[in-house]
Amino acid sequence: MFLSAQLVYSFFTAIFSAVFYVVYSPNNLVITTCAAIDVLTGGYQPNVTAGIGIFQISILILMVVGSLNFSFHYNLLHLKLRSALTREIKLFLGIIAATTILAAFFAWMNPFDSLFHIVSMISSTGIAYIDLATTPVAAKILFIAVGLIGGCAFSMAGGIRIQRILTLFDGLRKKGNRPDREELKAALVNVVGFFLVLAILSLVFSTIGLSLLDSVFEIGSALTTNGISMGITTVMIPLGYKWLLILAMIVGRVEILVVLKAIGGTNILGMAKRLFSSLKRRTLRRTSYTISPR
């Protein structure tokens, strides 16, 4: 599996390094390879200007590639198209399509710019050539939501992840392929914990003198390891707030369930398990009251 992952991502890196070598200045193979790796993994990024060219389109494609799961790439390269298009992939692409239309409407930008920045947010790549701080409030909220959703499971993207959203949705269904108890519990703890950390750190970060919305954007960007900023996160912010962002980045990358396990061991996870069991019993009681005969 490790070798397969290495080969697949090395293949994408080689292809896009060659593309960047032709279209990205300077024409230096080391620089273009670093640019391809950074876009694929969501690290430092090349300078991108507005426009619709081969460079911008290739970056857009590579951002999408990095946010899709390894299973998709493996099946795609083995020409197993039906196996590649899972429910997770379809939902992920559907979210991109829907939010691209909404962002173009809310921010009054052209469709390509909207698509580029939606993909940048959802893939945790963090490339932006439009100042998102100047966009309307509705557009900011949409970009925050997309960034928090994140990419597919076992991808380079951060965020909640599409698979966990599907797991919670399937858990609410009364029939079909419902997740087992452990899967549902893990997804619930991760999602609830993610939003609790986001809320607490955003409230603390807002004491620097920000609106709560801008604070959520900055902390959300750190939690999802995205990197896009409203222009607030700079070298000049006080040291305590830098440590806060560092904490958010670590929690976002390691993920909350691992952090809870490291801090509280089985005690915290046991509390989450008891909470989940209590909620389940209450749901079953309500259901039994609903279907019981008079």
260 falls within a domain: yes
Q: Which residues contact 107 (CB under 8 A, 6 or more apart)?
A: 114, 135, 136, 139
Which pLDDT score, from 0 to 100, does residue 52 have? Answer: 85
Provide the domain limits for residue 268: 190-294
**With 0-12 CB in 10 A as exposed, 13-18 as middle and 19+ as buried, what is 130?**
middle
238 falls within a domain: yes
Coil, strand or helix: which one is 78? coil
132 falls within a domain: no
Which pLDDT score, from 0 to 100, does residue 117 have? Answer: 92
Q: What is the DSSP letter of 208?
A: G
131 falls within a domain: no
285 falls within a domain: yes
Which pLDDT score, from 0 to 100, does residue 279 have? Answer: 55
Residue 257 binned pLDDT confidence (cut-offs 50, 70, 90): confident
What's the whole-model pTM score?
A: 0.79
Which pLDDT score, from 0 to 100, does residue 98 have? Answer: 94
- Of 32 and 177, the structure prediction assigns the larger pLDDT to 32
pLDDT digits (tens, 9 = 90+) for 21-74: 888 777 788 888 888 888 888 766 677 777 788 888 988 999 998 888 888 888
Single out the residue of 223, 216, 226 nearest to residue 141, CA to CA.
216
Burial 236-248 (b: 16+ CB within 10 A, else e): eeeeebeebbebb
Cβ proximity of 155 and 164 under 8 Å: no
Sign of the Cα pseudo-torsion (287, 268, 199, 159, in order): negative
19 falls within a domain: no
User: Per-residue pLDDT for 242 more than 80?
Assistant: yes
236 falls within a domain: yes
Residue 289 binned pLDDT confidence (cut-offs 50, 70, 90): very low
CATH number for 257:
1.10.287
68 falls within a domain: no
> Structurally, how many domains does the chain consist of?
1
Cβ proximity of 20 and 35 under 8 Å: yes
